[in-house]
Amino acid sequence: NAGVTQTPKFQVLKTGQSMTLQCAQDMNHNSMYWYRQDPGMGLRLIYYSASEGTTDKGEVPNGYNVSRLNKREFSLRLESAAPSQTSVYFCASSKDSYSNQPQHFGDGTRLSIL
Amino acid sequence: KQEVTQIPAALSVPEGENLVLNCSFTDSAIYNLQWFRQDPGKGLTSLLLIQSSQREQTSGRLNASLDKSSGRSTLYIAASQPGDSATYLCAVQGGSEKLVFGKGMKLTVNP
């Protein structure tokens, strides 16, 4: 049982380039989330999807777009990368938003933008 | 706006000590509170989830308590071991689907 799988694990981009971070879960969870983790800032929610077909903004959505491709997959896209988007990105999933079940996290994507 | 605070930011202790990790939150209208562990270079692993109607949860050497009225939770680690070294994060879920995280506490248990 793989849980939450994120690809790639590491990526270096130049300012202005675009890329998509992929996330897939095999736990039949309805809700999925994208966070970024920065030193001194903690984990901050970028976007989330409460269920297939819905997406909503979190605390720091500017510069990002998301797609809930199906129940399993939730991708995060940087259209024009900026150095301020250098961070560790985590995808998470949970059974439902209000199920009182914990969120399960992937191992993260470490993204550097030069 | 919900704010979650964990103090201190880091703690170093000798092996065998019983530990208390603190978490405070500003809005007592929460749905649940969750404690996570994060090892270097890894994602978060859920340790305990306390529903708003509960006072505590236990798993092995870990015990988490919740006092909603005072906006506090504690994570108790009994007989600490070097393998407990990690960053511990507290998070609360309020009226929305979102979790609000504290910045974490880095624990080092020295053999």
Neighboring chain B residues of A41 at a CB cutoff of 8 Å = 103
pLDDT score at A98: 77
pLDDT score at B34: 96
- What does the mean pLDDT of chain B come to? 94
The answer to whether residue B34 neighbours chain A at the CB level (below 8 Å) is: yes
pLDDT score at A41: 85
Q: Which of A94-103, B81-90, B102-111 is predicted least confidently?
A: A94-103
For residue B9, what are its two tokens? 């930011």
A84 three-state secondary structure: helix
pLDDT score at B73: 97
Mean pLDDT confidence for B70-78? 97
Q: Which of A95-99, B24-28, B43-47, B50-54 is predicted least confidently?
A: A95-99
Query: pLDDT confidence of B76, banded at 50, 70, 90?
Result: very high
CB burial of residue A31 (10 Å; 0-12, 13-18, 19+): buried
pLDDT score at B4: 96
On the question of pLDDT at B102 being above 90, the answer is yes
Q: Which residues contact B104 (CB under 8 A, 6 or more apart)?
A: A42, B6, B9, B38, B87, B88, B89
pLDDT score at A99: 75
Element holding A21 (H helix, E strand): strand A19-25
Q: Are A86 and A111 in contact (CB under 8 A)?
A: yes
| A60–chain B nearest CA distance, Å | 13
pLDDT score at A100: 82
Neighboring chain A residues of B31 at a CB cutoff of 8 Å = 98, 100
Which is more confident, B97 or B57? B57
On the question of pLDDT at B89 being above 90, the answer is yes
The answer to whether residue B101 neighbours chain A at the CB level (below 8 Å) is: yes
Query: Which residues, numbered 47 to 106 in chain A, qualify as contacts with chain B under a Cβ-Cβ cut-off of 8 Å?
Result: 48, 50, 56, 58-59, 90, 92, 97-98, 100-106
Query: pLDDT confidence of B95, banded at 50, 70, 90?
Result: confident
Which is more confident, A101 or B4? B4
Cα–chain center distance at A88:
10
Which residues of chain A carry a pLDDT beneath 50? none
As a whole number of angstroms, the longest Cα–Cα distance in chain B is 42
